[in-house]
Amino acid sequence: MRGMKNSSSKPDAASSAAGRGFSWPVRVYYEDTDAGGIVFYANYLKFFERARTEWLRACGVDQRRLAEETGVLFVVRSTALDYRSPARLDDVVTTVSRVEKLGRASVDFVQEAWRDDTLLATGTIRVACVDAAAMRPAPIPDRVHEALQRGPQKDLYAVSTAVQ
Protein backbone atom coordinates (compact mmCIF):
# COMPACT_ATOMS: atom_id res chain seq x y z
CA MET A 1 0.00 0.00 0.00
CA ARG A 2 3.02 2.23 -0.16
CA GLY A 3 2.26 5.61 -1.70
CA MET A 4 -1.49 5.02 -1.52
CA LYS A 5 -3.35 8.31 -1.82
CA ASN A 6 -6.64 9.23 -0.26
CA SER A 7 -9.24 10.69 -2.57
CA SER A 8 -9.59 13.70 -0.28
CA SER A 9 -6.67 16.02 0.19
CA LYS A 10 -5.12 16.89 3.51
CA PRO A 11 -6.60 20.03 5.07
CA ASP A 12 -4.08 22.84 5.30
CA ALA A 13 -3.01 24.53 8.53
CA ALA A 14 -5.22 27.51 7.75
CA SER A 15 -8.36 25.40 8.06
CA SER A 16 -8.00 24.83 11.79
CA ALA A 17 -11.38 26.14 12.93
CA ALA A 18 -13.62 23.82 14.95
CA GLY A 19 -14.81 20.87 12.89
CA ARG A 20 -12.55 21.55 9.88
CA GLY A 21 -9.30 20.18 11.20
CA PHE A 22 -6.36 21.09 13.37
CA SER A 23 -2.88 20.16 12.12
CA TRP A 24 0.09 19.25 14.30
CA PRO A 25 3.46 18.07 12.91
CA VAL A 26 5.49 15.29 14.52
CA ARG A 27 8.97 14.25 13.40
CA VAL A 28 9.64 10.50 13.40
CA TYR A 29 12.60 9.66 15.64
CA TYR A 30 14.58 6.44 15.79
CA GLU A 31 12.72 5.47 18.98
CA ASP A 32 9.43 5.60 17.04
CA THR A 33 10.48 2.89 14.58
CA ASP A 34 10.52 -0.88 14.75
CA ALA A 35 13.14 -3.40 13.60
CA GLY A 36 11.99 -2.88 10.01
CA GLY A 37 12.70 0.84 10.18
CA ILE A 38 9.07 1.93 9.97
CA VAL A 39 6.93 3.62 12.60
CA PHE A 40 5.75 1.02 15.12
CA TYR A 41 1.96 0.85 14.78
CA ALA A 42 1.17 1.81 18.40
CA ASN A 43 3.12 5.04 18.05
CA TYR A 44 0.35 6.50 15.89
CA LEU A 45 -1.70 6.53 19.11
CA LYS A 46 1.04 8.69 20.67
CA PHE A 47 1.09 11.01 17.66
CA PHE A 48 -2.69 11.37 17.83
CA GLU A 49 -2.55 11.98 21.59
CA ARG A 50 -0.04 14.80 21.12
CA ALA A 51 -2.23 16.37 18.45
CA ARG A 52 -5.33 16.23 20.68
CA THR A 53 -3.37 17.77 23.55
CA GLU A 54 -2.20 20.61 21.30
CA TRP A 55 -5.76 21.01 20.01
CA LEU A 56 -6.94 21.48 23.61
CA ARG A 57 -4.17 24.01 24.22
CA ALA A 58 -5.17 25.89 21.08
CA CYS A 59 -8.72 25.96 22.46
CA GLY A 60 -7.32 27.57 25.61
CA VAL A 61 -7.58 24.50 27.85
CA ASP A 62 -4.68 23.57 30.14
CA GLN A 63 -5.37 20.00 31.25
CA ARG A 64 -3.31 20.24 34.44
CA ARG A 65 -5.13 23.38 35.61
CA LEU A 66 -8.44 21.85 34.56
CA ALA A 67 -7.80 18.87 36.85
CA GLU A 68 -6.57 21.05 39.73
CA GLU A 69 -9.42 23.57 39.52
CA THR A 70 -12.39 21.38 38.59
CA GLY A 71 -11.38 17.83 39.51
CA VAL A 72 -12.05 16.48 36.02
CA LEU A 73 -9.79 14.77 33.50
CA PHE A 74 -10.03 13.77 29.87
CA VAL A 75 -9.30 10.08 29.29
CA VAL A 76 -9.40 7.93 26.18
CA ARG A 77 -12.42 5.66 26.25
CA SER A 78 -12.07 3.94 22.88
CA THR A 79 -9.96 3.92 19.73
CA ALA A 80 -10.02 2.37 16.30
CA LEU A 81 -7.13 2.77 13.86
CA ASP A 82 -6.61 1.90 10.22
CA TYR A 83 -3.11 1.82 8.76
CA ARG A 84 -2.60 2.80 5.13
CA SER A 85 1.08 3.45 4.42
CA PRO A 86 4.27 3.36 6.52
CA ALA A 87 6.16 6.32 7.91
CA ARG A 88 9.92 6.09 8.36
CA LEU A 89 12.76 7.68 10.31
CA ASP A 90 12.97 11.48 9.88
CA ASP A 91 9.59 11.76 8.15
CA VAL A 92 7.44 14.67 9.27
CA VAL A 93 4.02 13.27 10.01
CA THR A 94 1.23 15.83 10.11
CA THR A 95 -1.66 14.79 12.30
CA VAL A 96 -5.02 16.31 11.47
CA SER A 97 -7.68 16.27 14.17
CA ARG A 98 -11.37 17.00 13.72
CA VAL A 99 -14.19 16.84 16.22
CA GLU A 100 -16.86 14.53 14.93
CA LYS A 101 -19.16 14.92 17.93
CA LEU A 102 -19.03 17.03 21.07
CA GLY A 103 -21.25 15.65 23.81
CA ARG A 104 -21.83 16.77 27.40
CA ALA A 105 -19.25 14.32 28.76
CA SER A 106 -17.28 13.15 25.73
CA VAL A 107 -15.60 14.23 22.51
CA ASP A 108 -15.36 12.01 19.42
CA PHE A 109 -12.36 12.77 17.21
CA VAL A 110 -11.46 11.69 13.70
CA GLN A 111 -7.70 11.86 13.25
CA GLU A 112 -5.42 11.33 10.28
CA ALA A 113 -1.66 11.00 9.91
CA TRP A 114 -0.20 12.36 6.67
CA ARG A 115 3.23 12.52 5.07
CA ASP A 116 2.90 15.22 2.45
CA ASP A 117 -0.05 14.02 0.32
CA THR A 118 0.07 10.40 1.49
CA LEU A 119 -2.43 9.24 4.09
CA LEU A 120 -0.59 7.01 6.57
CA ALA A 121 -3.23 6.19 9.18
CA THR A 122 -6.71 7.15 10.31
CA GLY A 123 -8.29 6.85 13.70
CA THR A 124 -11.47 7.47 15.60
CA ILE A 125 -10.96 8.26 19.25
CA ARG A 126 -13.56 8.88 21.95
CA VAL A 127 -12.32 10.96 24.85
CA ALA A 128 -14.42 11.02 28.01
CA CYS A 129 -14.53 13.58 30.78
CA VAL A 130 -14.30 11.90 34.17
CA ASP A 131 -14.24 12.88 37.81
CA ALA A 132 -10.58 12.42 38.78
CA ALA A 133 -11.34 10.98 42.23
CA ALA A 134 -14.07 8.53 41.24
CA MET A 135 -12.97 7.87 37.64
CA ARG A 136 -16.64 8.06 36.66
CA PRO A 137 -18.15 10.09 33.80
CA ALA A 138 -18.58 13.78 34.55
CA PRO A 139 -19.95 16.65 32.48
CA ILE A 140 -17.42 18.79 30.67
CA PRO A 141 -17.37 22.11 32.57
CA ASP A 142 -19.46 24.74 30.75
CA ARG A 143 -16.57 27.12 30.01
CA VAL A 144 -14.47 24.26 28.67
CA HIS A 145 -17.39 22.96 26.60
CA GLU A 146 -17.82 26.45 25.10
CA ALA A 147 -14.10 26.61 24.28
CA LEU A 148 -14.24 23.21 22.59
CA GLN A 149 -17.27 24.33 20.54
CA ARG A 150 -15.33 27.43 19.41
CA GLY A 151 -12.31 25.34 18.55
CA PRO A 152 -8.67 26.37 18.28
CA GLN A 153 -8.01 30.11 18.32
CA LYS A 154 -4.92 31.64 16.75
CA ASP A 155 -4.38 34.00 19.67
CA LEU A 156 -4.51 31.11 22.17
CA TYR A 157 -2.45 28.68 20.12
CA ALA A 158 0.97 29.55 21.54
CA VAL A 159 -0.12 29.79 25.18
CA SER A 160 -1.39 26.97 27.34
CA THR A 161 -3.86 28.33 29.90
CA ALA A 162 -7.04 27.14 31.53
CA VAL A 163 -10.26 28.54 30.15
CA GLN A 164 -10.98 31.84 31.90
For residues 38 and 89, what is the distance between their CA atoms, to the nearest angstrom?
7
2/124 Cα distance (integer angstroms): 22
What is the Cβ-side half-sphere exposure of residue 52, based on CA atoms within 13 angstroms?
Answer: 24
Active-site annotation holder among 12, 34, 82, 90: 34
**34 catalytically annotated:** yes
Q: How many whole angstroms separate alpha carbon 27 and alpha carbon 105?
A: 32
CB 75 within 8 A of CB 67: no
* CB contact at 8 A, 143 and 164: yes
CB-CB neighbours of 57 under 10 Å:
19
DSSP output for 48-101: HHHHHHHHHHHTT--HHHHHHHH-EEEEEEEEEEEE-S--BTT-EEEEEEEEEE
Which residues are known to be catalytic?
34
